[in-house]
């Protein structure tokens, strides 16, 4: 397909815009981790998507927010000795987290309107990017449903809803990577592979994506259950390869999602198994005839999973410090991005995804 200079410039502009959105979403996930780890997520007890953009601006407004917080279980059962200054500390992280969500919405919507007005993208492209707004709004709503679960009888959010919230964030991440990758169809000399990918490489790459997502899901369950505090030794769990009590709950299947010991054990095993799968895949690709660019991506994936496993071990050993646990979550996102991007490169397409999307 022949692409003119104007289409190339449009594609570069849109690619940079989507890349900045991706960066902001990653920062959003980091703030979400800090909010959870500092136990700040239940500090704002109302959901006001529009008027909630402003924080309390004077002592009276701060006192009103604090009074609202005092009506809920976290204050009554855990933080009953909290002062107003203490409350401001936890309010800060939740407020910044919600504020960035609103900013991301504007960063998607306003440039989209401008690009449409300038006829740099077609209506079909606009529809695809508009889905980012839908996903973002749904993500915000799921976040509120998660918070609301901790405002009822127990001052802890549902670990299922936490996993759903993080899972939706991963869906947004992958959709952004897909859109950015698709823009290569209108950029010259952007093909990363010169040979037909074997079915084994394609299946393995998508298997890695699946297991990275599954690992992130179990990481969310570990976080929501606070199972990371239960066993702080590695590789053994309190002196055992498989700890006692992994089948204590009934019915049996519930242990896979609510048993602290089994959930943490699965998270560990998935991490080690995923690392071995990536290392073996990297070795095979390294000695194959794939393009050097593909080999660089696979090497990067190997580095990321090595760092990620190390961070996971350190998070356990040092009893979930905020800094290490946050970086651990972010490297999980990086691992997903690179693995998904690699799978896209290895999967041939019969036709370019976005060759009809840009107006000359």
Alpha-carbon distance 299 to 308, whole Å?
14
CA–CA separation, 215 vs 195, rounded Å? Answer: 31
User: Is 258:265 a contact under the CB 8 Å cutoff?
Assistant: no
Q: What's the rounded Cα separation, in Å, for the pair 21 and 173? A: 9
Say what the alpha-carbon torsion angle 5, 10, 16, 22 is, to the nearest 10 degrees.
-140
Query: In Å, how far are 134, 216, 337 from 332, measured between CA atoms?
Result: 24, 7, 9
The Cα–Cα gap between 3 and 254 comes to 55
Rounded CA-CA distance 3/356 in Å is: 11
Q: Is the pLDDT of residue 358 over 50?
A: no
Chain-centroid distance, C-alpha 5: 35
User: How far apart, in whole angstroms, are the C-alpha atoms of residue 154 and residue 77?
Assistant: 9
What pLDDT was estimated at residue 191? 46
**How wide is the angle at C-alpha 184 spanned by C-alphas 286 and 10, nearest 5°?**
155
Residues 261-290: tens digit of each pLDDT: 999 999 999 999 999 999 999 999 998 888
Q: What is the pTM of this model?
A: 0.90
Q: Is 39 helix (H, G, I), strand (E, B) or coil?
A: coil
Q: Is the distance from CB of 196 to CB of 42 less than 8 angstroms?
A: no
Do residues 316 and 228 touch, judged by C-beta distance below 8 A? yes
Tally of CB atoms within 10 A around 194: 11
Q: Across all residues in the chain, what is the average pLDDT?
A: 88
Confidence band, pLDDT 50/70/90 cuts, at residue 159 = very high
- Within 10 angstroms of residue 55's Cβ, the number of other Cβ atoms is 16
pLDDT for the residue numbered 268: 95
190 has pLDDT over 70: no
Nearest partner of 227 among 239, 212, 243, judged by Cα: 243
Region 216-235: mean pLDDT is 93
pLDDT reported for residue 314? 96
Kind and range of the H or E run holding 215:
helix 199-225
- Please tell me the predicted confidence (pLDDT) of residue 7: 60
C-alpha torsion angle, residues 121, 124, 130, 132 (rounded to 10) = -100
Query: What average pLDDT does the segment 39-56 reach?
Result: 86
């Amino acid at each position: 397909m022949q692409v003119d200079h104007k289409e190339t410039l449009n594609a570069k502009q849109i690619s940079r815009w989507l890349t900045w959105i991706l960066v902001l979403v990653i920062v959003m996930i980091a703030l979400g981790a800090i909010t959870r780890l500092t136990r700040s997520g239940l500090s704002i007890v109302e959901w006001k998507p529009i008027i909630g953009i402003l924080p309390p601006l004077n002592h009276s407004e701060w006192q009103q927010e604090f009074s609202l917080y005092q009506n809920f279980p976290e204050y009554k059962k855990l933080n009953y000795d909290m002062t107003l200054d203490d409350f401001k500390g936890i309010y800060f992280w939740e407020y910044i987290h919600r504020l960035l969500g609103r900013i991301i919405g504007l960063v998607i919507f306003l440039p989209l309107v401008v690009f449409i007005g300038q006829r740099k993208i077609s209506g079909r492209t606009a529809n695809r990017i508009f889905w980012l707004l839908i996903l973002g709004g749904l993500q915000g709503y799921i976040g509120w449903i998660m918070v609301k679960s901790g405002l009822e009888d127990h001052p802890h959010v549902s670990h299922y809803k936490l996993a759903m919230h993080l899972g939706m964030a991963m869906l947004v991440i992958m959709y952004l990577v897909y859109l950015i990758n698709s823009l290569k169809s209108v950029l010259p000399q952007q093909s990363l592979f010169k040979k037909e990918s074997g079915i084994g490489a394609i299946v393995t790459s998508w298997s890695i994506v699946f297991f990275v997502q599954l690992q992130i899901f179990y990481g969310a369950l570990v976080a929501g259950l606070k199972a990371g505090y239960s066993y702080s030794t590695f590789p053994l769990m309190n002196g055992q390869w498989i700890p006692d009590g992994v089948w204590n709950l009934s019915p049996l299947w519930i242990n896979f999602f609510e048993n602290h010991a089994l959930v943490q054990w699965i998270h560990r095993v998935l991490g080690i198994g995923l690392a071995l799968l990536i290392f073996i895949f990297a070795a095979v690709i390294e000695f194959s005839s794939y393009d050097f660019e593909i080999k660089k991506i696979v090497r990067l994936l190997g580095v990321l999973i090595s760092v990620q496993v190390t961070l996971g071990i350190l998070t356990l050993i040092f009893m979930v410090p905020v800094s290490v646990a946050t970086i651990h979550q972010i490297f999980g996102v990086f691992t997903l991005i690179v693995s998904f991007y690699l799978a896209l490169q290895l999967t041939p397409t019969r036709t370019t995804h976005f060759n009809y999307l840009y107006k000359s």
